[in-house]
């Protein structure tokens, strides 16, 4: 997994590119979505596009000056945390799971 940030010069936004590598996916994938506090944790969120190498990617623009929490939702049932994010925080659901953080 990886996250690439590109801060825009023309406006106070950051283009964030999320990638999930094929090696992380140990099962057949029908869909991967990015779900987080930026979309009120709606599970029909931002669907990632498949790459030729078997991974998935999606770019989204966010306003700068904030911290976002997110997770990947695989096949509408498996949650993945991006260990390469800017940090981790407990989900707060008592499930001993973590959300990934992005500092913008």
Can you give the C-alpha Rg of the chain in angstroms?
Answer: 13
Q: What is the pLDDT of residue 57?
A: 97
Return the pLDDT at 95: 78
| Band of residue 92 on the pLDDT scale cut at 50, 70, 90 | confident
Rounded mean pLDDT, 51-77 = 95
Domains annotated for the chain, with CATH where assigned, are 2-103 (2.60.40.10)
């Amino acid at each position: 997994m990886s996250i690439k940030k590109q801060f825009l010069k023309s406006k106070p936004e950051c283009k964030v590119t999320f990638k999930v590598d094929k090696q992380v996916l140990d099962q057949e994938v029908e869909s991967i979505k990015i779900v987080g506090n930026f979309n009120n944790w709606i599970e029909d969120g931002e669907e990632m596009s498949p790459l030729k190498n078997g991974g998935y990617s999606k770019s989204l623009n966010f306003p700068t000056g904030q911290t976002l929490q997110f997770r990947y939702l695989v096949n509408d049932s498996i949650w993945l945390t991006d260990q390469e994010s800017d940090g981790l925080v407990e989900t707060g659901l008592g499930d001993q799971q973590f959300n990934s953080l992005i500092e913008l």
